[in-house]
Chain A
C-alpha cells in the first residue's frame, strides 16, 4: 500500500526507525553463480556501466529526499559514519569510534582524519555537525532523514575530529540509522553555498563515485572518485572503485528494460519482472540476484475498529486464505511467503512464527459459526441481521501484483461466507481512505532495518487519522502491546530486547492483527557486470563491481 520504499515512486525508503542487518538471499542459482565468477576472475579496472531503474528520481540530497529509488544512487555517492556487517553488528566507516552515555542522550564520535569530499573540503567534526544541523533546518525541508535522527538536539565540535551529539530523549535506532545512505555526509562547503533546490540535483559527497550530470526523466551520470581511500571494512578491495563511469538510466517499461539488458545496452537492471526470472536464470549470460527487504513483509492489516474487532473473525479470515498457493501462483517462486510482522532478514526476527497457522477453510467456517455468524441463503454469513461484509482496499497501480492477490483472497474469503468489496485506489485516494479508516483490510509493507517498525505498526499513536498518515492500519490499541512496543524502542540491543521483540511478533500472529503474505524482494539482473554487493537496507553497492566483458 501506501507507504514504503519501493512501492510508490516517491515513497519513503526505510521507514523511520532503524536499520538492521540483512543477509543476501540468493534466488535460485543466480547469486551463487555470481559469487563463483567473482572468485574466479580477478577484477578489471575501468570501463563504463549503465544500470537501468524502473522509475524516475526525485533528487540526490540525502538530507532531503524520501525515495528508495534515489537511495540506490545515493549509496554510490555518499559515505556514512557506520555500517552494519553481515551479522548486524555496527562497524566503523567514517567514524572510527563511538559511544553512548548511560542515559542514552549523549553520543561521542571519533572520526577518520583522511577523508575529503569531492570539492577537497576535509571531513571533520565540523562537517558532521553541519550535516546533522542541516537535516533539522526547516529551510532545507528534509522529508525522510529528519525522521532518522529522531529527537536530535545539538552537535558540538569537541576537537577537530571528535564530535558530541545531544538527544532530547533516548532514541535507540540512532546508531543503526547512521548507516543509512539517507544519513550520508554532504560537503559542508558545497551544501552551504548552494540553494537547497539546486543542491538537490547537484550534490557533493565523499563517496567512490562523483556526480557528473543529471538529466531529469532520463539519467544520472557518475564518474570514479580517484582519491577514494576510505571504503568500509566489508568491501572487497581498497582505493578507487573499479568502474570508471557509472550511469543510472530510467527505463520504465519492464519489457524494454529486459530487452536492453539482453542486448547489452545496459549492464544491469533493477526490478526484474517475476515472470522473467526463470528465463533470466536459464540464460547463462545473465545473472539474477534477489535481495529480501528487511522490515515488515507485505501484510494484510485487519482493521480492529469494525467487523474485525472480534479476534475469532480475524483468525477465521486468516484461516480462509490459501497464502501458499497465491504466492506460488503469482510470483513463481521469486518471493517467499511470510509468516509474521517482521521479514526474516530483520534484526530480532523470531522463526517461531513460522507455520503457526495454516490454510483451513473448515476451521474458518467453524470459527465464524461459533462467533455467531451463520450462513445466509446467498452464501453470505449474517449475525443479528448484519451481513459479514468487508472492504478490502489495495493501491493502484498494481505494484508487485498486490491487486491480483486481492482478487485471489477475495475468492478465498467469499468461499467461507464473507462478502468482500475490493477497491483499488491511487496513492492520494488510498491515503484518504486509510486516514478515514474506511476499510477492513489494507495491505502494507515497510522497509526498515530495525524491529522498531513493530512500534510504528502496532502502537496506537500511529493509527491513521484524517490529516495524518500512520502505519497502525490494524488500529491495534492494546495496552500490553503498547507496553511491549515502548520497551522495544528504549532497550538497547541484546537478548533482553530480542525477547521483547519476539513476544510482540508472537502476539501479532496469535491475535491475527495482521496477516503476513510475502517477503518483498528486490531483484536485480546483470549482463557482463559482477561484484555487486548490498547494504543492510538492500540497496546495491557498485564500489566493488567490475565489467567481465561478456
Chain B
C-alpha cells in the first residue's frame, strides 16, 4: 500500500510540472500586458511603468521569469499579487477554506442525492419514478448553475427569508450555494449510479442471491450498491475537482469568498502570480483527489485490493 501511494505521488510531480509549464507559457502568449492592466488605463509616465515592471520582475527575460517562478514554487513562495500587493500564498490561504467547504458540501449533496435517486430509478426501471428522475437529472445537468442559484436566492432568500442571499461564514451562508453546486453535479451522479445498479442487477450472483431467498431490499442495499458504488466513487472524485472549478460561478452569484472569485479577478487583471498560484493549488487538489480515489477503490473493492497486493 505504501508503495502504491509513493508511486502515485511520484507520478504527480511531472503532471504538476506540466501544468505549470503550460500555464506559464499560455499566460505569456495571451495578448496584453500586465502593467497596462495594473494601470487600468490610468495615465502613467514611462518612469512609473518602468518602476512597476521592475517591482514585479516583469522587466526580466521570460526564461529568467520562469526560472524565478519555479524556484519560488519549490520554496513554497507563490509570489506577490500585482493588483493587491499581497503575498499570493496568504491570499489563497485566506480563501481556499471557503472554496473547499463549498465544494465538499456540494460533493456530499451530489453524492447522496445521486445515489438515492439513481438507485431508486434503477430499481423502478421504466416506471414513472424512473422517468421522473431521469428527466429531473437531465434538467439539472442542463441548467446553468448561475440560473439555479438565482432561482434559489429568489425563493429562499428574498421570498421565504430562510437563508442569507450573499456572504460567507455561517452554515446558513453555505446552504444555498452548496445546494446550487451540488444539484448541478447530482444529475451526472444519478445517471452513473442508475446505470451501474442496472448492470449489477443483471449479474448472475444477484439472481443467485434472490434465489437464496434474500429480501430484495437486502440484496440492493448490501450487495448491489457496494458493487455499483465503485464507478460512482470515480465520478464523485473527479467531480470534486470539477466542483472546485465550478465554485467560480457559484461564488460569483452568491458573492461568496473563495479562490474562484479570486481567480476571476486575477484573470481580468492579468495578475500572473495569482492566476499561477490558484491554478497550481487547484491542480494539486485535483491530483490529490485522484490519488485518494485510486486508493479508495482497494478499500471498497476486494478485487482491486488483490491486484494491488500482487
Residues of A participating in the B interface, judged by any CB pair closer than 8 Å: 2-4, 7-13, 15-17, 56, 58-59, 64, 66-67, 138, 141-144, 146-147, 196-197, 200-201, 215-218, 249-253, 255-256, 259-260, 262-263, 265, 426-433, 435, 456, 467-469, 471
Interface string of B73-89 (1 = CB under 8 A from A): 00000001001111100
Sample of 10 further A-B pairs with CB below 8 A, known A2-B41, A66-B39: A8-B268, A10-B268, A10-B269, A12-B40, A16-B43, A66-B40, A218-B257, A427-B268, A428-B32, A428-B37
Chain A interface helix/strand/loop/mixed: loop
A218 touches B255 (CB 8 A): yes
Interface assignment of B182: CB less than 8 Å from any CB of chain A? no
Contact-residue bracket for chain B:
35 or more
Complex-state Cα separation, A265 to B254, whole angstroms? 14
Which residues of chain B are near A215, meaning CB under 8 Å?
168, 257
CB distance from B309 to the nearest CB of A (A): 47
Which residues of chain A are near B261, meaning CB under 8 Å?
56, 217
Residues of B participating in the A interface, judged by any CB pair closer than 8 Å: 30-34, 36-46, 48-49, 51-52, 55, 80, 83-87, 91, 94-95, 146, 150, 153-154, 157-158, 161, 164-168, 251-258, 261-262, 265, 268-270
A428 touches B85 (CB 8 A): no
Q: How many interface contacts (CB-CB < 8 Å) are there between A and B? A: 177
Which residues of chain B are near A456, meaning CB under 8 Å?
43
A201 touches B84 (CB 8 A): yes
Which residues of chain B are near A249, meaning CB under 8 Å?
166-167, 255
CB distance from B163 to the nearest CB of A (A): 11
CB distance from B36 to the nearest CB of A (A): 4
CB distance from B46 to the nearest CB of A (A): 7
Complex-state Cα separation, A217 to B257, whole angstroms? 5
B164 touches A265 (CB 8 A): yes
- A429 touching B165 in the complex, CB below 8 Å, given contacts A201-B84, A216-B84: no
CB distance from B179 to the nearest CB of A (A): 16
Complex-state Cα separation, A138 to B34, whole angstroms? 18
- Ordered by A's residue number, 21 sampled pairs between the chains whose C-beta atoms are within 8 Å are A2-B40, A11-B42, A56-B265, A58-B83, A67-B40, A138-B55, A200-B84, A216-B91, A216-B95, A218-B255, A251-B255, A256-B153, A256-B254, A256-B255, A260-B158, A262-B158, A263-B157, A263-B165, A426-B32, A427-B32, A427-B37
Which residues of chain A are near B257, meaning CB under 8 Å?
215-218
Complex-state Cα separation, A249 to B86, whole angstroms? 20
Q: What 5 pairs between A and B have smallest CB-CB spacing?
A: A428-B32, A3-B41, A12-B42, A16-B43, A11-B40
One of A67, A216, A252, A467 near B252 (C-beta < 8 A): A252
- A263 touching B161 in the complex, CB below 8 Å, given contacts A251-B166, A469-B41: yes
A259 touches B154 (CB 8 A): yes
A12 touches B32 (CB 8 A): no
Which residues of chain A are near B36, meaning CB under 8 Å?
428, 431, 435, 469
B39 touches A143 (CB 8 A): yes
B150 touches A217 (CB 8 A): no
- A15 touching B31 in the complex, CB below 8 Å, given contacts A141-B51, A249-B166, A256-B166: no
Complex-state Cα separation, A259 to B146, whole angstroms? 15
Closest residue of chain A to B36 (Cβ to Cβ) is: A431
CB distance from A252 to the nearest CB of B (A): 6
CB distance from A285 to the nearest CB of B (A): 14
